[in-house]
Amino acid sequence: MFLKRRTRAKNGDRYEYWELVRTVRTARGPRHETVAYLGKLDEGEARRQYGWADLDALLEGCEPDTQLRLDLPGRSPSIEPEWRRINVRGVQVERVREFGRVWAALSVWRRLGLHRLLREALPTGQERVGWDAVACVLAVGRFCAQASELSVAEQWYEGTALPDVLGVPADQINESRLYRGLDQLLACKDAICRHLQERWGSWFGASYDFLLYDVTSTYFEGAADENPKAQRGYSRDNRSDCEQVCIGLVVTREGLPVGYEVFAGNRNDVTTLEEIVELMEGKYGKANRVWVTDRGIVSEDNLQFLRDRGARYLVGTPKSQLRRYEAELLDAEGWHAIREGLDVKLVTAPDGSSERFVLCRSRERAAKERAMLERQIVRLRKALEKIDTGLQKRPSPDAEKVERRIGRWLGRNPAAERVFDVAVKKDPDGRACGLRVSERAERLDWASLAQGAYLLRTNHTSEDPVELWKWYIHLTQAESAFRTSKSDLVLRPVFHRKEHRVDAHILVCFLALAMWRTLEQWMASKGLGTCARQFLLEMDTLHSMDVVLPTDGGTQLHLRTVSKPEKPLTMLLERLDLRVPQLPQRLANVVQKI
């Protein structure tokens, strides 16, 4: 709600009065509805109302509408300021609320134009709170790391400045309304993805010639028995005891999320690629796009599928294929240095096909793999010696049990497993009486040569291995997006049981991720780096509050304002063209004097 000045002419005289107005949704669009006529107010009385500037304009980076400014700078020079004597001992601060992080989230939400998109896309009925506002609350809550709709409704929303900024009272946001908002929002998934792609293209000049694809999983708290996609499978969260769903995410080279799909929790990563490619091409066209994926999503069938569609690809390759390029690894010619300790070489396929391979070797990665191998060899050697000593002292009648024990140790040390050949010795009675262990020196030599080396595979026509490597390394953007979703945006665990609610929950997480990545790109465009996490920690220091000023006349001035940011944060906000709403200037001076 806000104050609106009205002017009326009667019998040749002009009268000015104020009315309290709120914005409501109607079948013809948003309209102003008069809540109460306040009569003729002098300037001092008008200032007793909460001195917020035009929030819409501030959020969208525009000049505030002078109609909604209560300080009226330069509009009414005939109005003189009214001075009041303040009892400084009675000054109080009330209703302190979280402001900074939600303001940053709302600024991104509005500048992405999601409020306009959802206002048009979501249905309009007799609801007291528009579904676009509910969607905004859901996305901002997830952006601010709220784990569930229940926590948003019962605790978080009322403790923020959102009721003031959005104009939606706290008693209108409850768990049921948020769940219904999830149901409404899910139908807009495709429209949201298309809108984001267009907005990023116009704002940041984002291109979609390279798409990076990866898969993660998120687990459920509870049975999730009403969701057929909830299955047990390979868990990236180390929660194999819980049912889960898999999420395939497509991002640009900048890390901007373009689209996603939800798969059953037991779905093999390799089987998802064709579905994602067809989905993205059906929505956005082929457009000579290059697909970049990790080796865990690659199979010969997938690559043939991409070739049949005329698509370009750049993918990781299992390390077992390095054996075919042992000579190239030993050859010192043809290497290109990317930086100190990292070299790449372009090699042709041994079968003479049109594919090329990029051979990469990293000194830092080699040192890491060498240390891991040495630790595993020492650990495995001690374990095998212990088993051998125990069997010599006390032979075991169950040789299969001994073999299983050896197998467990080999499985715990996969890098060292290939170096050892282990066999169980048996006595004339068939009992396991010891181990026959040998270390293969040639395998150890190959392991030393292959340490730090990996292979990329592509059908792209580029002849520059450095360029191809740089394209592939952008795949870390997808991995980073998953880390942000799980750590900062609390994607896991999922508390919903129904399939459509789970899909809607993941859509809200996708929206929050899009807002997070947009903030990072916004900061990068202003020369502020891409650490949105640190910027939001700075924004957490901002709070909204009510300053109560007791006057000598027995009345109180209630001024709703925002705490003044420290100098470093002020500089950040200036670079981002972000302005937080403050008191009218003359009233702010009064508060500063106090």
What string of DSSP letters covers 465-490? HHHHHHHHHTTHHHHHHHHIIIIIS-
Residue segments in the chain with a per-residue pLDDT below the cut of 50? 1, 41-53, 65-79, 584-594
Residue 92 domain boundaries: 44-97+542-594
Would you say residue 230 lies in a domain? no
Strand partners, 94: 546
Would you say residue 55 lies in a domain? yes
From 538, 535, 561, select the one nearest 548 (Cα to Cα).
561
H-state helical runs in 344-496: 363-393, 399-412, 414-417, 441-450, 465-473, 476-483
| pLDDT on residue 49 | 39
Helix (H) or strand (E) holding 336: strand 336-339
Would you say residue 418 lies in a domain? no
Distance CA 486, CA 239 (A): 14
How large is the greatest C-alpha to C-alpha distance in the chain, in angstroms? 124
In the chain, what are the helix, strand and coil shares in percent, each to the nearest 5? Answer: 45, 25, 30
From 296, 139, 151, 107, select the one nearest 215 (Cα to Cα).
296
The size of the chain, in residues, is: 594
Distance CA 267, CA 126 (A): 42
Is the link from the previous residue into 493 a cis peptide, with omega within 30 of 0? Answer: yes
Whether residues 593 and 548 share a domain: the answer is: yes
| pLDDT on residue 7 | 72
Phi, psi of 319 (to 5 degrees): -65, -20
Would you say residue 110 lies in a domain? no
The answer to whether the CB of 146 falls within 8 A of the CB of 178 is no
| pLDDT on residue 4 | 66
Would you say residue 346 lies in a domain? no
Whether residues 58 and 10 share a domain: the answer is: no
Q: Burial letters for 88-103: b for 16+ Cβ neighbours within 10 Å, e otherwise?
A: eeeeeeeeebbbbbbb
Distance CA 75, CA 67 (A): 10
For the whole model, what pTM was predicted? 0.79
DSSP-derived secondary structure for 257-296: EEEEEEEETT--GGGGHHHHHHHHHHHH--TT-EEEE-GG
Would you say residue 15 lies in a domain? yes
Whether residues 60 and 91 share a domain: the answer is: yes
Distance CA 255, CA 522 (A): 13
Whether residues 32 and 48 share a domain: the answer is: no
The answer to whether the CB of 94 falls within 8 A of the CB of 550 is no
User: Could you give the C-alpha distances from 328 to 277, 314, 355, in angstroms and in order?
Assistant: 33, 20, 16
Whether residues 19 and 55 share a domain: the answer is: no
| pLDDT on residue 78 | 44
| Structural domains counted in the chain | 2
CA angle 46, 51, 52 (to 5 degrees): 135
Q: Which residues contact 76 (CB under 8 A, 6 or more apart)?
A: none
Whether residues 590 and 547 share a domain: the answer is: yes
Distance CA 253, CA 471 (A): 8
Whether residues 52 and 93 share a domain: the answer is: yes
Q: Quote the tokens at residue 578.
A: 């972000």
Distance CA 231, CA 267 (A): 9
The answer to whether the CB of 274 falls within 8 A of the CB of 293 is no
Q: Which residues contact 86 (CB under 8 A, 6 or more apart)?
A: 549, 550, 551, 552, 557, 590, 594
Helix (H) or strand (E) holding 59: helix 55-59
Would you say residue 495 lies in a domain? no
Would you say residue 560 lies in a domain? yes
User: Could you give the C-alpha distances from 571 to 474, 475, 528, 575, in angstroms and in order?
Assistant: 31, 33, 11, 6
